[in-house]
């Protein structure tokens, strides 16, 4: 059959406009803060089954994730946190495509800061609600694409998979679980809120803890003690110097426009318990960023060496070396090439529907794309209609037009990538 025109694809999306917006309102209305995703995943599985897809739903266990726990984080619970994979089987002979998204959201921090209902509300051309942009709109887009293909009477050669996952905000449990359950595709598009730009690189991060030891004394005899705070100062200044040095010397075409490519941020300091006592201990916790091309292990070694070099300059620290530890979820940095076939196909699909080019970009934050690239050796990128800067904000909203448009683009992408049978 001849491929549908971009207008026909957009028309098929518009014909289901009310139903799609209602689906988004429904899913936003189901609370799914990270760790409590059971209800929303049952809703997703039921809807996808109703669309005629083969639906699989599975949970993970502590044992299964054990080898990957540094990458996806320790989970308080694995119970009732299913991942869902739905398959629209192709006729054969084409590439497979997976459309993927996370159903979990961060909690509502302060309800009084919300003008609109976090449970979902349409106002004008926007849909407000917790998770509306990050990223329940992307989940609905992924779910609806097979339906639009059905409306257009299209059979694809390659399989089209829809994957909805849990635990993304916390490190990526659901995506790791999907990989470990053997699911894969020749290309993965994660429908995160990129506002219809193509995200091809995810930054890495290490969460660290530095413990500095001092010697307690009465503040009135402070020369008898050693302040752990004073001993931390040169370490802290060196972290900032290292950040600046990296910014100057390490280049990457997708990151060079960032004012800070490698944010090193100390987010928590704890020291002392009495105003007139010299503190004998300081604990600093923070986050160290890095970019694709840099390995996680290499960054850990560099950080160790850097702190050891500072300690070497100081008699006390030489004898009482600061302790550096890494804890919580650690994110590897991964990317696919700007001219990777998946990138090119995504750019082309966007242009076919919109008549103009979009841009590629990189993130300093980590995304689930890194897990597909790193652990499954599969190309993954981000493309969605949500508003990027509204993620994790009060009055989080989605603009309905770009959202509907993203569904048309993703349908075009499925047609181009999997090919019409
Ligand atoms: Zn997200």
Catalytic position from the list 104, 134, 352, 416 = 104
For 213, 221, 230, 234, 283, the CA distances from 217, given in Å and listed in that order, are 13, 6, 14, 21, 18
- Residue 73: predicted pLDDT: 86
Q: From the CA of 398, how far away is ligand 1's center (Å)?
A: 13
- Residue 190: predicted pLDDT: 98
CATH number of the structural domain 6-202+332-418: 3.40.630.10
Catalytic position from the list 37, 151, 168, 399 = 168
Q: How many C-beta atoms surround the C-beta of residue 86 within 10 A? A: 25
C-alpha span between 183 and 102 (Å, rounded): 16
DSSP secondary structure string, 267-311? EEEEE-S-TTEE-SEEEEEEEEEE-TTS-HHHHHHHHHHHHHHHH
- Residue 389: predicted pLDDT: 85
Structure-token pair, residue 44:
């997703």
Q: From the CA of 237, how far away is ligand 1's center (Å)?
A: 33
Q: From the CA of 341, how far away is ligand 1's center (Å)?
A: 24
User: What pTM value is reported for the model?
Assistant: 0.91
Comma-separated ranges of CATH 3.30.70.360 domains in the chain: 204-326
Helix (H, G, I), strand (E, B) or coil at 242: helix
Print pLDDT tens along the chain (421 aa).
Answer: 889 999 999 999 999 999 999 999 999 999 999 999 999 999 999 999 999 999 999 999 999 999 999 899 888 899 999 999 999 999 999 999 999 999 999 999 889 999 999 999 999 999 999 999 999 999 999 999 999 999 999 999 999 999 999 999 888 999 999 999 999 999 999 999 999 999 999 999 999 999 999 999 999 999 999 999 999 999 999 999 999 999 999 999 999 999 999 899 999 999 999 999 999 999 999 999 999 999 999 999 999 999 999 999 999 999 999 999 998 778 999 999 999 999 999 999 999 999 999 999 999 888 999 999 999 999 999 999 998 888 889 999 999 999 999 999 999 999 999 999 9
Structure-token pair, residue 248:
């100057």
Cβ atoms of 334 and 370 within 8 Å: the answer is yes
- Residue 2: predicted pLDDT: 87
Q: From the CA of 194, how far away is ligand 1's center (Å)?
A: 10
Q: From the CA of 135, how far away is ligand 1's center (Å)?
A: 5
Q: From the CA of 169, how far away is ligand 1's center (Å)?
A: 7
Q: Indicate if 401 belongs to the active site.
A: no
For 10, 131, 333, the CA distances from 245, given in Å and listed in that order, are 49, 37, 19
CA angle 103, 109, 114 (to 5 degrees): 95
Q: Indicate if 104 belongs to the active site.
A: yes
C-alpha span between 132 and 312 (Å, rounded): 51
Cβ atoms of 105 and 171 within 8 Å: the answer is no
Give helix 400-418 / helix 341-354 axis angle, nearest 10°.
130
Query: Closest by alpha carbon to 146, among 190, 89, 83?
Result: 89
- Residue 93: predicted pLDDT: 95
Q: From the CA of 192, how far away is ligand 1's center (Å)?
A: 5
- Residue 222: predicted pLDDT: 96
Domain spanning 204-326: which CATH class is it, in words? alpha beta
Q: From the CA of 183, how far away is ligand 1's center (Å)?
A: 21
Q: From the CA of 222, how far away is ligand 1's center (Å)?
A: 49
- Residue 9: predicted pLDDT: 98
């Amino acid at each position: 059959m001849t491929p549908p025109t971009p207008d026909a694809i957009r028309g098929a999306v518009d014909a289901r406009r009310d139903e799609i917006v209602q689906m988004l309102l429904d899913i936003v209305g189901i609370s799914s803060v990270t760790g409590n995703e059971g209800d929303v995943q049952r809703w997703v599985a039921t809807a996808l089954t109703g669309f005629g897809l083969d639906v699989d739903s599975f949970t993970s266990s502590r044992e299964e994730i054990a080898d990957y726990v540094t990458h996806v984080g320790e989970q308080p619970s694995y119970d009732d946190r299913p991942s869902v994979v739905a398959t629209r089987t192709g006729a054969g002979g084409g590439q497979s495509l997976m459309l993927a998204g996370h159903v979990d959201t961060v909690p509502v921090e302060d309800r009084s800061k919300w003008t609109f209902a976090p449970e979902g509300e349409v106002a004008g051309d926007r849909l407000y609600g917790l998770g509306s942009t990050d990223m329940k709109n992307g989940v609905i887009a992924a779910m609806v694409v097979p339906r639009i293909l059905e409306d257009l009477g299209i059979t694809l050669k390659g399989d089209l998979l829809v994957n909805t996952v849990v635990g993304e905000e916390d490190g990526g449990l659901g995506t790791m679980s999907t990989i470990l359950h053997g699911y894969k595709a020749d290309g993965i598009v994660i429908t995160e809120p990129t506002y219809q730009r193509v995200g091809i690189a995810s930054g890495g991060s290490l969460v660290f803890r530095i413990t500095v030891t001092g010697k307690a004394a009465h503040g009135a005899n402070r020369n008898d003690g050693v302040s752990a705070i004073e001993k931390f100062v040169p370490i802290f200044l060196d972290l900032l110097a290292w950040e600046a040095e990296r910014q100057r010397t390490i280049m990457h075409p997708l990151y060079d426009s960032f004012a800070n490519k490698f944010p090193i941020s100390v987010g928590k300091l704890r020291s002392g318990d009495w105003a007139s006592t010299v503190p004998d201990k300081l604990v600093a916790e923070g986050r160290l960023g890095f970019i694709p091309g840099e390995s996680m292990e290499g960054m850990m070694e560099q950080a160790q060496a850097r702190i050891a070099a500072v300690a070497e300059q100081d008699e006390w620290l030489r004898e009482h070396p600061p302790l550096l530890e890494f804890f919580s979820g650690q994110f590897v940095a991964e990317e696919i090439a700007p001219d990777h076939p998946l990138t090119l196909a995504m750019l082309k699909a966007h242009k076919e529907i919109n008549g103009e080019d979009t841009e590629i970009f990189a993130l300093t934050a980590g995304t689930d794309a890194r897990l597909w690239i790193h652990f499954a050796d599969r190309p993954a990128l981000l493309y969605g209609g949500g508003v990027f800067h509204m993620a994790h904000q009060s009055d989080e909203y989605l603009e309905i037009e770009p959202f509907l448009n993203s569904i048309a683009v993703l349908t075009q992408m499925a047609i181009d990538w999997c090919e019409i049978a």
